[in-house]
A and B are shown apart, each in its own frame.
Chain A
Amino acid sequence: MNGIPTTTTTAAATAAPTQPASPARDAAARSSLSRRQILGLAVLLALACVLPFVLGNYRVFQLTLALAYAIALLGLNMLTGYNGQISLGHGAFYAIGAYTAAILMDKFGFPYWATIPVAGGVCLVAGFLFGLPALRLEGLYLALATFALGVAMPQILKHNSLEHWTGGSMGVVIAKPDAPGGIPLSQDQWLYFFTLFWAVLLFFCAWNLLRGRIGRALVAIRDQPIAAQAMGVNTALYKSLTFGVSAFYTGVAGALASIAVQFVSPDSFSIFLSLALVVGVVVGGLASISGALYGALFIQFIPNVADQISKAAPWALYGVFLIGFMYLMPSGVAGLVQVIRRRFPGK
């Protein structure tokens, strides 16, 4: 692999310059949403608010987890999709966020809602610090370094020196919060809305961030880093910050999910989680905000579907699904949606 970073973008882009612009470039060009899109978002939000009253608590719980995944995928997408830095170890930041929330609630008596920003902040710092040495690594090498982080995290969490805080292999049990006084919602419904609030907030922030100068700078760094630097973009700073912000999002997601599940342990955050996040980002659609939502639904629900279809080897079936998705939509679900929208404009 040569050092020219175009290998991290589509191989087709170098071979066929007439390929249509990626969703990221589209999003960057559009600085505001069309009326049709605003209407679509409103409908989606309304649907999201109605669902917990229509579905049972178990489904609401699953949707809460899916929302948390969506936030995590948005974070990872910022790093990998928009900025071209591959991370196979984002589960580690998910774990740090989750444990931060758990330890604050269990050992320091923090109320659950106060743990979210703290978890995010801790991960912001951790991500930034990891991103600094990672600046020197490209492509495969960065993949290995992040993979190593993902693999090592459970061992770090089990370590004796941290056992007093982390509970070692036994993990930490978290009490489930009730809806604040007076509101007639079940615990699951309340947590769902709490997670939904954070999801909407963070999605809005990301959209704002990515459609402006910063988003363009990230994409420029991904596609033509030398040119970007020549144009005055502080590549090193942007890359490390992106790592930090991406870790922030994933840490918040981990905290939200751990409160819903009420339990954290090293086994909850194996390398498998990191790989699932990568799967979610790619299947959902790289460099696309809506992709985070599609990807989250995929990684939350498709394994269950595979399990119901095949009792003998459900994960083989899941593998087949993955390969099939990549054949049908190499740019993810969001990419497919783009293609459809372009074919039927104004519909």
Chain B
Amino acid sequence: MDLLIHQILSGLATGGIYASVALALVMIYQATHLVNFAQGEMAMFATYLAWTLMQAGVPYWGAFFITVVAAFIGGVVLERLVIQPVENAPILSVVIVFIGLVFIFNSVAGWIYSYTIKPFPSPFPSEPLFGNSYVTSHELGSMAVTLVVLALVFVFFRYTPLGLAMRAAAQNPVSSRLVGVRVGWMLALGWGLASAIGAIAGIMVAPIVFLEPNMMSGILLYAFAGALLGGIDSPAGAVLGGFVVGVLENVVGMYLGTEVKLTVALVIIVAVLVARPSGLFGKVHVARV
């Protein structure tokens, strides 16, 4: 029983990692109706940028702030320069562009920074809260950060005119243009915000898993699964989905052994999706003929 509690708490900690990346995926989905496979690599690259700044002597929060802003600008530029030329192409062609971006970011990061793991500092104290041995303060702290970002995203989409304009642009570009929404720039803004969220996720994740170019590849699958499990159009659902996936993974490993952990966890996720195709909290769409 004690072990189970341990595994659940540890699963929540790992789940926090998935949840933060899932949030970035949802962000970009809400803005563009596309899932950006390159999200993980972009987050990793941004984290390396933060690392470079810290190596150069910039204090933690300064580097954090600069990186998030740089990631935002980078996302906007990427959308305008790289994605916009193919925005009328078939969906799969855009997926290929994403795959291309994955290769580019991963390969360039490996070339510049090499593949040796690098420790990454955490802004949270190194002693665990109340001296517990279940979760570190950093893991708790990054979960809190994820929830704060989630709240901001929720408020942004629900209560601000800009958020409304972005959702409109994604859902119905033609009508949005008719009412004066600059659809192109809404897409770019969406990419910028997703990129910034990704950078925050990367900075929170790196102290746990260590910084290296392949840091995000294992995480992306689980984040994707978590986002879909919770419902790709629901930020809160995606975050919850991320936590669920983390706990599920650990519990399965505990009871069924670690050699089938990956397989069984994925089977369960797919089974849930088959039962509830829009995810646990997603909106069920009714198609009108």
Contacts and interface: CB of A to CB of B under 8 A. Distances in A.
Interface of A: 1-5, 7-12, 15, 80, 86, 133-134, 136-138, 140-141, 143-145, 147-149, 151-152, 155-156, 158-160, 226-227, 230, 275, 278-279, 281-283, 286, 312-316, 318-323, 325-327, 330-331
A143 B108 CA distance: 27
Nearest to B82: A323
A182 B289 CA distance: 64
A10 B262 contact: no
A261 to B, nearest CB: 24
B52 interface: no
A140 B86 contact: no
Contacts of B50: none
Given A1-B233, A275-B99, A316-B103, A158 B93 contact: no
Nearest to B173: A15
B91 interface: yes
Contacts of A10: 88-91
Nearest to B83: A323
A226 B289 contact: yes
Nearest to A22: B90
Contact of B287 (A3, A133, A319): A3
28 contacts: A9-B90, A10-B89, A11-B89, A133-B271, A141-B228, A141-B279, A144-B224, A144-B269, A144-B270, A147-B224, A148-B267, A148-B269, A151-B266, A275-B99, A278-B92, A278-B95, A279-B99, A281-B92, A286-B90, A312-B111, A319-B102, A319-B103, A319-B104, A323-B97, A323-B100, A326-B96, A330-B86, A331-B90
Q: What bracket does the count of chain B residues touching chain A fall in? A: 35 or more
Chain B facing A: main interface SS: helix
Contact of A322 (B89, B97, B108, B221): B97
Given A279-B96, A322-B97, A144 B225 contact: yes
A4 B266 contact: no
Given A11-B90, A141-B273, A330-B93, 7 more contacts: A15-B174, A148-B270, A155-B259, A278-B95, A283-B96, A320-B100, A330-B88
Interface string B193-230: 00000000000000000000000000001001100100
B118 interface: no
A318 B105 CA distance: 12
A319 B106 CA distance: 10
A322 B97 CA distance: 7
Interface of B: 29, 33, 35, 82, 85-97, 99-104, 106-108, 110-111, 174, 221, 224-225, 228, 232-233, 259-260, 262-263, 266-267, 269-271, 273-274, 277, 279, 285-287, 289
Contacts of A141: 228, 273, 277, 279
B101 A323 contact: yes
B238 to A, nearest CB: 12
B260 A7 contact: no
Contacts of B102: 319
B277 A319 contact: no
Contact of A330 (B35, B89, B285, B289): B89
A313 B111 contact: yes
Contacts of A160: 259
A313 B110 contact: yes
Contacts of B228: 140-141, 144
Task: Give the 4 A-B residue pairs with the shortest CB-CB distance, closest first.
Answer: A319-B103, A3-B285, A322-B100, A330-B89
A138 B100 contact: no
Nearest to B170: A1
Nearest to A3: B285
Contacts of B232: 1, 140
A159 B286 contact: no
B277 A136 contact: yes
A315 B107 contact: yes
A319 B274 CA distance: 33
Nearest to A230: B289
Given A11-B88, A152-B262, A226 B287 contact: yes
Contacts of A325: 96
B81 to A, nearest CB: 10
Given A1-B33, A140-B35, A159 B260 contact: yes
A296 to B, nearest CB: 16
Nearest to A152: B263
Pick from B33, B89, B93 the residue with the most CB of A within 10 Å: B93
Contacts of B93: 282, 326, 330-331
Contacts of B286: 3
Given A8-B91, A159-B260, A318 B174 contact: no
Nearest to B101: A319
Contacts of B29: 1
A63 to B, nearest CB: 24
A282 B224 contact: no
B92 A282 contact: yes
A78 to B, nearest CB: 14
A187 B151 CA distance: 64
Contacts of B263: 152, 155-156
Contacts of B91: 7-8, 10-11
A226 B85 CA distance: 32
B96 A315 contact: no
Contacts of A145: 270, 273
Contacts of A158: 259
Nearest to B285: A3
A322 B266 contact: no
